[in-house]
Chains A and B, each alone.
Chain A
Amino acid sequence: MSGDVLARVLTENSLIAAFVVVGALVMVSYWLSARLTRGHIHGSAVAIALGLLLAYAGGVATGGSKGLADIGVFAGIGIMGGAMFRDFAIVATAFGAELEALKKAGLVGALSVVIGVVLSFVVGALVALAFGYTDAVSVSTIGAGAATYIVGPVTGTALGASSEVVALSIAAGLTKSVLVMIGTPLVAGRIGLDNPHSAMIYGGLMGTTSGVAGGLAATDPKLVPYGAMTATFYTGVGCLLAPSVLYLVVRAVL
């Protein structure tokens, strides 16, 4: 009986429950980071990795698409980690960002968005070709999915791709975003990701807002506003280029 009451309280106050769950998760992660890795892997990187693991467990348990948030008592995770709060917190990180640094990397930052969209599209399209897709619509949709998991379905819908191909394009984008979250802190040193300048280029090239948000949080939170700034233009540019210019190029080549 008390179990029912507890479940009801947690469900009715889901956002508050999420604060407790995430707080505990962060606490465990920082402890693990200090004890097991002696601080080599940052606590927030551990927390994000644990979050992804829990999302996997939640997805397996419920068959839903929102990870841990599909389990009733954890539904608040879905609100707390949803686009509204994510974007709100990203905007807040801009407070204290240096206008000068933004201006200096402005041009190359903007350029990196276009280069990033085209690069991911081409790589995704080549993989689609290698797996035997030969029609321009499918190849373009999968290429667009390699940009972000929003560009993929938007392109697929615009071009009239099959739902199977659209699903694949979303999966390619999801893989990218998960990998950017986990991979960024591991390669940050080698690719020179340690200043506002390269963070803006990184955001423009990667483009996945959630991937960049997670990746920079786990690398150096001070870089977040610079990477997030360029990344937020990526999906829009991708939705602009992929179903139009890039599709026409693919159709001309095939």
Chain B
Amino acid sequence: MVIYGVALLSFCMLVGVFLGDLLGELIGVQANVGGVGIAMLLLILLSNLTSQRFSLAPMTESGIHFWSAMYIPIVVAMAARQNVVAAVSSGWMAIIAGVAAVAASFLLIPVLSKAGRGRPE
């Protein structure tokens, strides 16, 4: 049933966000630490676990695939609700700080990619 997939997905997200909030309180920061990442790992583990003994029914899978496919439209909606005016009208310092941080990070990607690959297996 479709709801099984949606429920599994929701369960993973709630557990992840809960653990992320707990982790944040534990180390004393006012933020969720990796909640979504933990939820993703949980979903991957659970779906791999089930595939060894019994596989998820196609309808159950479609409950997860639907939300995965809604990802881009949701991101488009997310873009449409950003505070773009504040980003472009706050003066040069904020803009330059943001642009410089992005440029520096982009430049470091190939360096780290190579470093990560270069390690002996």
From the candidates A55, A91, A181, A239, name the one contacting B29 in the complex (CB within 8 A).
Answer: A239
* Residues of chain B lying within 8 A (CB to CB) of residue A54: 80
* Interface hits, B39-96 → A, CB 8 Å: 39-41, 43-45, 47-48, 61, 64-65, 67-68, 70-88, 90-96
Interface of B is mostly: helix
* Residues of chain B lying within 8 A (CB to CB) of residue A185: none
Binds B, one of A3-11, A32-40, A116-124: A116-124
* Residues of chain B lying within 8 A (CB to CB) of residue A93: 40, 68, 71
Question: Are B72's CB and A67's CB within 8 A?
Answer: no
B116 at the interface (CB under 8 A from A): yes
Question: Are B99's CB and A178's CB within 8 A?
Answer: no
From the candidates A67, A198, A233, name the one contacting B34 in the complex (CB within 8 A).
Answer: A233
State in angstroms the CA–CA spacing of A31 and B17 once bound together: 37
B100 at the interface (CB under 8 A from A): yes
State in angstroms the CA–CA spacing of A231 and B23 once bound together: 16
Question: Are B97's CB and A128's CB within 8 A?
Answer: yes
A105 at the interface (CB under 8 A from B): yes
Question: Are A59's CB and B31's CB within 8 A?
Answer: no
* Residues of chain A lying within 8 A (CB to CB) of residue B27: 240
A80-108 toward B: CB 8 Å interface, digit per residue (1/0)? 11100111111111111101001001011
Question: Are B83's CB and A95's CB within 8 A?
Answer: no
Residue of B nearest to A150 (CB): B31
* Residues of chain B lying within 8 A (CB to CB) of residue A169: 94
Question: Are A59's CB and B79's CB within 8 A?
Answer: no
* Interface hits, A174-216 → B, CB 8 Å: 174-181, 183, 187, 191-193, 197-198, 201-202, 205-206, 209-210, 213-214
Minimum C-beta distance from A29 to chain B (A):
8
Question: Are A187's CB and B106's CB within 8 A?
Answer: yes
Known: A56-B85, A82-B81, A175-B97. A154 touches B116 (CB 8 A): no
Question: Are B34's CB and A197's CB within 8 A?
Answer: no
Question: Which among B27, B65, B78, B95 has the highest number of chain A CB atoms within 10 Å?
Answer: B78
Question: Which among A123, A126, A167, A228 has the highest number of chain B CB atoms within 10 Å?
Answer: A123
Interface size on B, residues (CB 8 A): 76
From the candidates A26, A146, A154, name the one contacting B97 in the complex (CB within 8 A).
Answer: A146
State in angstroms the CA–CA spacing of A181 and B110 once bound together: 19
From the candidates B29, B85, B100, B102, name the one contacting A180 in the complex (CB within 8 A).
Answer: B102
Known: A26-B72, A94-B40, A142-B97. A201 touches B113 (CB 8 A): yes
Question: Are A91's CB and B97's CB within 8 A?
Answer: no
Question: Which among A51, A53, A99 has the highest number of chain B CB atoms within 10 Å?
Answer: A51
Give 22 A-B contacts (CB < 8 Å), ordered by A residue: A48-B75, A48-B79, A56-B88, A80-B74, A86-B74, A91-B43, A92-B68, A95-B43, A99-B48, A119-B101, A120-B104, A123-B100, A146-B101, A173-B98, A181-B79, A183-B106, A192-B113, A198-B113, A213-B78, A228-B36, A229-B37, A238-B31
What are the 8 tightest A-B residue pairs by CB atom distance, in nearest-first order? A175-B98, A236-B33, A81-B77, A51-B79, A108-B116, A59-B85, A171-B90, A94-B40
Residues on A close to B: CB < 8 A?
Answer: 18-19, 22-23, 25-26, 29, 44, 47-56, 58-60, 65-69, 74, 77-78, 80-82, 85-97, 99, 102, 105, 107-108, 111-112, 115-116, 119-120, 123-124, 126-128, 131, 142, 145-147, 150-151, 154, 157, 167-181, 183, 187, 191-193, 197-198, 201-202, 205-206, 209-210, 213-214, 217, 221, 224-225, 228-230, 232-233, 235-240
